């Protein structure tokens, strides 16, 4: 996400920078097109963590097109420690028809194992919340794998509430084509 391009059309959102000694000094910033290799690497590691390494088909070209093209579909914030990527949060724009207001969804949150437990994930989500507020959003949603107890506890500690009455359903590419009659 380039500031002023994929961040809400000049909302003034610039990212937040932190200082300290080790990974706790991680810099959280909006990603740009040159970050495509890092984004692919972090998402690939996320897929492995989520026990789906073979499911990845993401390419740098797709990242550049879908995150930094004329109509960005995904906002990306990176955490860097000593210049190396150590975490990522990706966000999707959505809309709350009941509230009549924009909202965002955390699509991916991943922190490398060496950086976990040091506040990087919390800072990534805090920055995501600042972006959502800057874009006029009234809520921030996240989906969590039901077996990821650490993530479930982490989100609860930040004030997220589980929506036990809702279940996510997915239509894969083949099903989408069938439903569309193609």
- What's the rounded mean pLDDT across residues 128-138? 97
CB 51 within 8 A of CB 113: no
Tokens in use for 167? 């279940």
Does residue 9 carry a pLDDT above 60?
no
Q: 182 falls in which pLDDT band (50, 70, 90)?
A: confident
What separation, in Å, do the N-terminal and C-terminal C-alpha atoms of the chain show? 33
Percent of the chain with pLDDT over 90: 82
- What's the rounded mean pLDDT across residues 23-39? 91
Encode pLDDT of 40-94 as tens digits.
999 999 999 999 999 999 999 999 999 999 999 999 999 999 999 999 999 999 9
CA distance 180 to 16: 43
Q: 5 falls in which pLDDT band (50, 70, 90)?
A: very low
| HSE value, Cβ hemisphere, 13 Å, CA-based, for 74 | 21
Does residue 99 carry a pLDDT above 60?
yes
Residue corresponding to tokens 């909006």: 30
Mean model confidence pLDDT for the chain: 88
Single out the residue of 66, 3, 71, 4 nearest to residue 36, CA to CA. Answer: 66
Q: Which fold does the domain 23-162 belong to in CATH?
A: Aminopeptidase (3.40.630)
């Amino acid at each position: 996400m380039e500031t002023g391009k994929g961040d809400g059309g000049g909302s003034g959102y610039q990212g937040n920078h932190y200082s300290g000694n080790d990974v706790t000094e991680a810099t959280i910033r909006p990603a740009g097109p040159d970050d495509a290799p890092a984004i692919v690497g972090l998402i690939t590691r996320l897929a492995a963590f989520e026990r789906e390494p073979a499911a990845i088909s993401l390419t740098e070209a797709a990242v550049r097109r879908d995150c930094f093209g004329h109509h960005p579909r995904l906002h990306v914030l990176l955490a860097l420690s000593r210049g190396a990527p150590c975490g990522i949060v990706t966000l999707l724009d959505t809309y709350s028809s009941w509230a009549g207001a924009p909202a965002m969804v955390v699509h991916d949150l991943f922190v490398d194992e060496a950086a976990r437990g040091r506040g990087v994930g919390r800072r990534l989500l805090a920055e995501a919340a600042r972006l959502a507020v800057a874009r006029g959003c009234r809520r921030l949603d996240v989906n969590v794998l039901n077996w990821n107890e650490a993530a479930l506890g982490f989100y609860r500690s930040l004030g997220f509430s589980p929506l036990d009455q809702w279940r996510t359903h997915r239509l894969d590419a083949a099903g989408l084509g069938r439903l569309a009659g193609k």
